Amino acid sequence: MARTYSGVNAQLGRSWYDYEGFRIEWSSPERYEIVGRVGGGKYSEVFEGIDMVNTDICIIKVLKPVASKKIKREVKILRNLTGGPNVVALLDVVQDPSSRYHSLIMEYVDNTEWKALYPVLGEVDIKYYTFQLLKGLDFVHSRGIMHRDIKPGNVMIDHRHRKLRIIDWGLAEFYHPGTAYHIRVGSRYYKAPELLVGYKQYDYSLDMWSVGCMLASMIFRKEHFFRGSDNDDQLLRIMKCLGTDCFDAYLKTYNIPFETELESLLQVYPKQPWTRFVTTENQPYASSEALDLLEKLLRYDHQKRPTAREAQGHTYFNIVRLQAASVKGD
């Protein structure tokens, strides 16, 4: 059971979380012209486009037929989150009458590639963008929704305008206490321990592990902090960092059965102090507050991780929280 926001969907009611019964009015696609391809994946092809009515640049996310049963969920969630801080805006939903393809017209973000961006981010930038990510996630969780695929590729940053938007809500779900969710979600390097050991009654705290992985990569200047070659190796890298004492305690707390043939996953590993990862190169970013926040976020036990709101209150963000407050104040 989530420590916070556990009853939100029951309070907001069926019309809020029931996406099966949700009927979508699809507009015609003529209004939008595709300019060029920006990316794609299993479920969609993503293009840059032009809105011919207002000449605005936009993103056209063309959904593959395989995604069809999930379309209602993604559109319902994007509609529910409209206007929330740092959540990408859904501008329109169109269906091509001949091809039958569905497309989502999204707010454009002039995103700087993560690989190119994170080496140029200063310490205050890292605090600022992580704070903005937490602000967006606290809003999303407060509306009863888990993103379930937080990773650099789904956090668009327009560094010039200091704008951050969380994108790709195709794996997002509504949180209902006691529900057993799919564990084949997320992206390997950012998968929380609960997914890797098959614990299905997870909650919003799933996203907080992923935030911890992103923060660790920015602080230690490492593109992906836990870089497993497969799901077993992913868990092994986490164990070699957090140690196996806490892992065993975690399995016990939730009565999680854990079987494996892999010798490496049955070894005992000591917990590494976070100072172990500090180098002369990353030391300007690895302050004691930064390491303290990492220690709190990267916990096996999902109920022990701070919520997005609690994390925002950490002293690590003092400099940006005061800035945000002052801007609001004046």
93 binds Na ion (CB under 5 A): no
111 binds ligand K44 (CB under 6 A): yes
Q: Nearest Cα to 95, choosing from 43, 34, 32, 26?
A: 26
Give the one residue of 134, 167, 236, 294 binding ligand K44; rule: CB under 6 A.
167
d(CA 271, CA 241): 6
Closer to ligand K44 by CB, 106 or 121: give it. 106
In this structure, the dihedral spanned by the alpha carbons of residues 183, 130, 118 and 238, taken in order and rounded to 10 degrees, is: -40
From residue 224 to residue 253, the character string flagging contacts with Na ion as x (rule: CB under 5 A) and all else as - is ------------------------------
Work out the widest C-alpha separation in the chain, in whole angstroms: 63
SS3 222: coil
The count of residues interacting with ligand K44 (CB under 6 A) is: 14
Q: What is the DSSP letter of 225?
A: S
Closer to ligand K44 by CB, 85 or 243: give it. 85
d(CA 135, CA 128): 10
Q: Tell me which of ligand K44, Na ion, none is bound by residue 239, counting a contact when its beta carbon lies within the kind-specific cut-off of 5 to 8 angstroms.
A: none
d(CA 268, CA 264): 9
d(CA 159, CA 157): 6
Angle at 141 between CA 247 and CA 302, to 5 degrees: 5
The count of residues interacting with Na ion (CB under 5 A) is: 2
Give the one residue of 2, 46, 77, 133 binding ligand K44; rule: CB under 6 A.
46
Catalytic option among 138, 149, 203, 207: 149
Positive or negative: CA dihedral 121, 126, 128, 133:
positive
Q: Nearest Cα to 316, choosing from 212, 242, 238?
A: 212
Give the one residue of 121, 126, 156, 311 binding ligand K44; rule: CB under 6 A.
156
Closer to ligand K44 by CB, 39 or 85: give it. 39
Q: How far is the CB of 188 from ligand K44 (least distance, A)?
A: 17
167 binds Na ion (CB under 5 A): yes
Give the one residue of 5, 17, 61, 209 binding ligand K44; rule: CB under 6 A.
61
Alpha-carbon separation of residue 160 from 3, 112, 125, 135, 328 (angstroms):
37, 9, 12, 20, 21
Q: How far is the CB of 55 from Na ion (least distance, A)?
A: 22
Ordered DSSP codes for 119-140: GG--HHHHHHHHHHHHHHHHHH
Q: How far is the CB of 75 from ligand K44 (least distance, A)?
A: 13
Q: How far is the CB of 150 from Na ion (least distance, A)?
A: 13
Closer to Na ion by CB, 62 or 196: give it. 62
Residue 127, Cα to own-chain centre: how many angstroms? 17
Q: Nearest Cα to 9, choosing from 146, 175, 155, 127?
A: 175
Catalytic residue status for 18: no
Q: Tell me which of ligand K44, Na ion, none is bound by residue 324, counting a contact when its beta carbon lies within the kind-specific cut-off of 5 to 8 angstroms.
A: none
207 binds Na ion (CB under 5 A): no
Give the one residue of 168, 173, 194, 207 binding Na ion; rule: CB under 5 A.
168
Q: Tell me which of Na ion, ligand K44, none is bound by residue 59, counting a contact when its beta carbon lies within the kind-specific cut-off of 5 to 8 angstroms.
A: ligand K44
From residue 260 to residue 299, the character string flagging contacts with ligand K44 as x (rule: CB under 6 A) and all else as - is ----------------------------------------
* Residues at the contact surface with ligand K44, assessed by CB under 6 A: 38-39, 46, 59, 61, 88, 106-109, 111, 156, 167-168
Q: Looking at the annotation, which residues are catalytic?
A: 149
